[in-house]
C-alpha cells in the first residue's frame, strides 16, 4: 500500500527548499568547517576559544556595546512614545520625523557620522569651536576612551526610532477602560504608568528587547566603517574579530567555531526572552 503525498506539502515544498538551501545547509557546513583542520576532524578550534584573550576582549566589548545601546534605545524610545502619545495635535508629523533615521541603511548612517566626527572639518567639532570650546583633543572615534561611546551614539541615533515605533504601537493597543478606571480611582500619571501602562505594555517591551538584542550582538557594519575595531582593540567586537580571522588571516576553521558559539549564545538569550514573553502573555 502506497502512501499518498499530503496535498499541502506540494505548496510548501519550494519554501522548504529555500530554507534548507539558505539556512540549514550553511549551518551544517559551518559546523563541518569548525571541526576540521589540515589533519582532519578536531576540536582544537573550540579549545582555542578558552585560551584566546582577544576573543574574550571582543566578547566583553560586544556585551558592553549591546547592553549600553539597548538600555539607551529602550528608555529613549519609551520616553518618546509616551510623550508623542500624550500630544493632541501633530502626532503623525512628529512620528514621521522620528522614524527618518531608521530608514537610512546602516552603511549610509555610518558614513554620515564618520563625516560628523571628523576632527578637522566635521560639523561636531566645528560647532564646538564656534562655541569657544577647544577641540584639539576631541578625536571622537580615534580616542581610546571616546571611541566606544561614539559608536554607541550612532546606533542609538539610528535605532531608537525602531523601539519608539514598537512601543507606540503597543500604547495604541492598550484599551481605554483600565486607564479610565485608574483616573476614576484618583491615580496620578506616574502611578498609572507604573501599575497600568507598563504591565500591559510588557509583551511589546519584551519583543522589542528581543529583536534589538539579537541585532546588537552581531553588530558589524557601523563599527567597521567608523573605527575598524580601533584604536587598538577599543571597539573590537566578535563579528569584527570573526571577519578578520576569516578574511585577513584565512583561518576559516577558527572563524567558523567562533561564529557557531556566537550563534548558540544568541539563540539561548533569545530563547530566554521568548520564555519570558510566554510567561507574561
Per-residue model confidence as pLDDT tens digits over 2-33: 566 677 777 888 888 888 888 889 989 999 99
Neighbours of 169 (CB within 10 A): 12
pTM of the predicted model, to two decimals? 0.89
Q: Helices 25-34 and 252-280: crossing angle, nearest 10°?
A: 130
Is the confidence at residue 152, as pLDDT, over 90? Answer: yes
Distance CA 93, CA 245 (A): 46
Is the confidence at residue 78, as pLDDT, over 70? Answer: yes
Contact 61, 151 (CB under 8 A): no
Q: Which CATH class is domain 50-280?
A: mainly alpha
Per-residue model confidence as pLDDT tens digits over 158-174: 999 999 999 999 999 99
Please list the residues that pair with 41 across neighbouring strands.
Answer: 36
Structure-block grid coordinates of residue 172:
495604541
Structural domain spans, the chain:
50-280
Per-residue model confidence as pLDDT tens digits over 129-151: 999 988 888 889 988 899 999 99
Amino acid at each position: 500500500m502506497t502512501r499518498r503525498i499530503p496535498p499541502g506539502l506540494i505548496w510548501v515544498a519550494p519554501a522548504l527548499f529555500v530554507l534548507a538551501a539558505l539556512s540549514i545547509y550553511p549551518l551544517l557546513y559551518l559546523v563541518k568547517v569548525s571541526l576540521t583542520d589540515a589533519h582532519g576532524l578536531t576540536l582544537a578550534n573550540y579549545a582555542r576559544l578558552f585560551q584566546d584573550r582577544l576573543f574574550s576582549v571582543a566578547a566583553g566589548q560586544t556585551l558592553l556595546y549591546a547592553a549600553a545601546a539597548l538600555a539607551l534605545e529602550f528608555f529613549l524610545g519609551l520616553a518618546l512614545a509616551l510623550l508623542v502619545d500624550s500630544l493632541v495635535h501633530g502626532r503623525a508629523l512628529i512620528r514621521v520625523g522620528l522614524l527618518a533615521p531608521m530608514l537610512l541603511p546602516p552603511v549610509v548612517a555610518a558614513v554620515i557620522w564618520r563625516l560628523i566626527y571628523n576632527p578637522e572639518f566635521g560639523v561636531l567639532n566645528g560647532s564646538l569651536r564656534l562655541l569657544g570650546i577647544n577641540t584639539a583633543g576631541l578625536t571622537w572615534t580615534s580616542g581610546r576612551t571616546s571611541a566606544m561611546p561614539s559608536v554607541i551614539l550612532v546606533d542609538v541615533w539610528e535605532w531608537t526610532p525602531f523601539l519608539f515605533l514598537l512601543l507606540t504601537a503597543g500604547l495604541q493597543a492598550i484599551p481605554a477602560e483600565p486607564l479610565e478606571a485608574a483616573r476614576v480611582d484618583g491615580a496620578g500619571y506616574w502611578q498609572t504608568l507604573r501599575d497600568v501602562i507598563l504591565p500591559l505594555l510588557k509583551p511589546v517591551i519584551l519583543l522589542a528587547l528581543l529583536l534589538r538584542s539579537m541585532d546588537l550582538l552581531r553588530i558589524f557594519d557601523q563599527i567597521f566603517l567608523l573605527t575598524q575595531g580601533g584604536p587598538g582593540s577599543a571597539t573590537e567586537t566578535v563579528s569584527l574579530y570573526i571577519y578578520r580571522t576569516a578574511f585577513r588571516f584565512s583561518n576559516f576553521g577558527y572563524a567558523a567555531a567562533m561564529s557557531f558559539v556566537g550563534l548558540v549564545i544568541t539563540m539561548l538569550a533569545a530563547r530566554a526572552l521568548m520564555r519570558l514573553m510566554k510567561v507574561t502573555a
